[in-house]
Chains A and B, each alone.
Chain A
């Protein structure tokens, strides 16, 4: 478009000049919508508006909203909840105490090795138990809740505890790693039926009564932690994992 509104026409448009015909006003208006040059001309014609200057001054353009604080640790919450921290800390402490007891040689059987399989159980319970995790109910109602979230949190427990166990047991992981995983998955599998907290308590009690206590009494390492028992542990792991997978839906609901 080569036609542009003349300054006099723009002035007439701005001052609502009664001599300007209605069709001319419309034409200017339509033209202004598409022509930046003429809009600039009109703006120059209007000149600075004191009211507008006042508003800009009041807006204090230097004042930018403070950026939200960088939360470097936010990703961590997506792996482990704050409710898990005290439980993991307690577990780690018990493991270290068992290690120290082994160092001074108070028992003929390695206490750290005896306790290794049940080490992750408390952490797993804290990951998905009503009564331990205060936010359990609102988290259970979110789309991310379910097997994926619970396994993510369980993985966080294992990532913290397994290196620690590797140091404190001071023996080949062949003896304790698989049992450790079995107890982890068994807590979840059993938890789907009776609630994760009850499952954890039951497994802790069972292992203490049937394995830890007898081993300490007869002062010999339990047969279940010998490499020959690995096949049994592997079968147990497979069974528990299958149960968890088949009953994945229960981990979307409120823990019992």
Chain B
């Protein structure tokens, strides 16, 4: 569908500002996986924190589980293109250029740093500028993102006045302001209370046409919101599959309070024995 046609259709019957749907938005994807890694190796300092990861992820919510030090953060950083892989191959969005990838990428790091004197809106708009959104679209996109994470009533408050949970949500707002095709969230539920975690899972379930990678050490987050699980241990993928397959891997003899936790323990223990 051409740009002109789409505009005309949006325009028909009302005289509100039409949103121009670009060709890129309606073009069919020419790649099978948003994220495709083969033998990916990434260094964190001197240590090879990610050591030979094979991964193929498409749209859906993917939980990245693993014990502390398994390489989750390093892997997410490599996916966010802020760390250069030391080896192997990483293809994002069918091998687009770094800048093009970043325009369609949302990233919330584990330690979400922000400017305390900015308001939520200023910060999200600043990020929208950095993500090269057209200037005219910036205020609208920021407002949409802030509304989506339920922070509209605090949009013009300074970030330093916000509670920890609200700051995290502001972090998610900056990540989704450019309607990313790949959304990377590193420990997004840390510091959220149970009600906020439920709200966050609800937000995740709404992201059906995005490839979301959520790293977490909370097994119940994965059980509640993720379509599938990638289990990382010592820099390698030790399990990839649906959440119920992970639950099926555990037996009553394994440690844990839920089937998912028992499955998790069983697989991590297997990795340790190897």
Bound together: yes
B122 near A141 (CB under 8 angstroms)?
A: no
Bound-state Cα–Cα, A244 to B116, Å: 31
**Residues of chain A whose beta carbon lies under 8 Å from any beta carbon of chain B:** 68-69, 71, 74, 77-78, 81-83, 133-145, 149, 252-254
What residues of chain A lie closer than 8 Å to B174, measured between beta carbons?
138
In this complex, what residue of B is CB-closest to A146?
B99
Measured in the bound complex, the distance between the Cα atoms of B117 and A138 in whole Å is 17
Interface band, chain B: 35 or more
Counting chain B CB atoms within 10 Å of each CB, which of A141, A252, A253 scores highest? A141
Verify if B156 is at the interface (C-beta below 8 Å from A).
yes
Inter-subunit contact B115/A143 (CB<8 Å): no
Chain A residues near B103: list those with CB within 8 A. 143
Inside 8 A of B143's CB, which chain A residues have their CB? 68
A172 to chain B, nearest CB (A): 39
- Shortest beta-carbon contacts, A-B, top 8: A134-B113, A142-B130, A143-B102, A141-B107, A82-B115, A254-B82, A137-B109, A141-B80
> Please, how many angstroms separate the alpha-carbon atoms of A136 and B114 in the complex?
9
| Cβ contact within 8 Å between B113 and A138 | yes
Tell whether, in the assembled complex, residue B82 and residue A253 are in contact, meaning their CB atoms are under 8 Å apart: yes
Q: Knowing A135-B113, A135-B114, A135-B115 touch, does A141 contact B105 (C-beta < 8 A)?
A: yes
Q: Does any Cβ of A come within 8 Å of B236's Cβ?
A: no
In the assembled complex, the CB of B174 is this many whole angstroms from the nearest CB of chain A, namely 7
Inter-chain CA distance A136–B115, complex, in Å, is: 10
Q: Check A134/B115 contact, CB under 8 A, given A77-B122, A142-B102, A253-B83.
A: yes
Q: Which of B77-119 contact A (CB under 8 A)?
A: 77, 80-84, 98-100, 102-103, 105, 107-109, 111-118
Task: Specify the chain B residue showing the minimal Cβ separation from A136.
Answer: B113
A68 proximity list for chain B (CB < 8 A):
121, 139, 143
B126 lies within 8 A of chain A by Cβ = yes
Contact A71 B122 (CB under 8 A): yes
Q: Are A143 and B114 in contact (CB under 8 A)?
A: no
| Contact residues of A: prevailing secondary structure | loop
Interchain pairs with CB closer than 8 A, number: 76
Q: Are B129 and A138 within 8 A (Cβ)?
A: no
Which B residues are closer than 8 A to A by beta carbons?
77, 80-84, 98-100, 102-103, 105, 107-109, 111-118, 121-122, 125-127, 129-132, 139, 143, 156, 171, 174
Collect the chain B residues with CB atoms within 8 Å of residue A81's CB. 115
Q: Give Cα A149 to B130, complex, Å.
A: 9
Chain A, residue nearest B125 (CB): A74
Pair A254/B113 contact, Cβ less than 8 Å: no
Across-interface contacts of B118 in A (CB, < 8 A): 77, 82
Contacts of B111 in A (CB 8 A): 137
Question: B115–A141 contact, CB under 8 A?
Answer: no
Structural contact, B122 and A82, CB atoms closer than 8 A: no
Q: Is the CB of B131 within 8 A of A82?
A: no
Q: How far in angstroms is the closest Cβ of chain A from B124?
A: 11
A143 touches B122 (CB 8 A): no
Do B102 and A83 touch across chains, with their CB atoms under 8 A apart? no
Determine the residue in chain B with the shortest Cβ distance to A68. B139
Asked if A139 and B117 make an inter-chain contact with CB atoms under 8 angstroms apart, the answer reads no
Give the CA-CA distance A92 to B171 in the complex, in Å: 33
Pairwise interchain contact A144-B131, C-beta atoms closer than 8 A: yes
The 11 sampled A-B contact pairs (Cβ below 8 Å) are A68-B121, A82-B116, A134-B115, A138-B174, A141-B80, A142-B132, A143-B99, A143-B132, A144-B130, A252-B81, A253-B84
A137 engages B113 (CB within 8 Å)? yes
Known contacts A68-B121, A74-B125; is-contact A143 B113 (Cβ 8 Å): no
- Which residues on the B side are within 8 Å of A133 (C-beta)? 113
Smallest Cβ-Cβ distance to A75: which chain B residue: B129
Write the chain B residue with the least CB distance to A77.
B126
Beta-carbon nearest neighbor of B130 in chain A: A142
Q: Is the CB of A138 within 8 A of B131?
A: no
Shortest CB–CB separation between residue A38 and chain B, in angstroms?
18
Please tell me if the beta carbons of A78 and B129 are within 8 angstroms of each other in the complex.
yes
* Docked complex Cα distance between A89 and B230 (Å): 47
Give the CA-CA distance A134 to B123 in the complex, in Å: 13
Residues of B close to A145: CB separation below 8 A:
102, 130
- Pair B82/A140 contact, Cβ less than 8 Å: yes
Complex alpha-carbon distance, A78 and B129, angstroms: 8
Please state if B126 and A142 are interface contacts (CB–CB under 8 Å).
no
The interface residues of chain B lying within 8 Å CB-to-CB of A78 are 126, 129
- Nearest-neighbor residue (CB-CB) of A254 within chain B: B82
**Closest approach, in angstroms, between the C-beta of B50 and any C-beta of chain A?**
14
Residues of B within 8 A of A134 (CB): 113-115
Residues in A neighbouring B116, C-beta threshold 8 A: 82
When the two chains form the complex, which single residue of A74, A82, A143 contacts B130, counting CB atoms closer than 8 Å?
A: A143
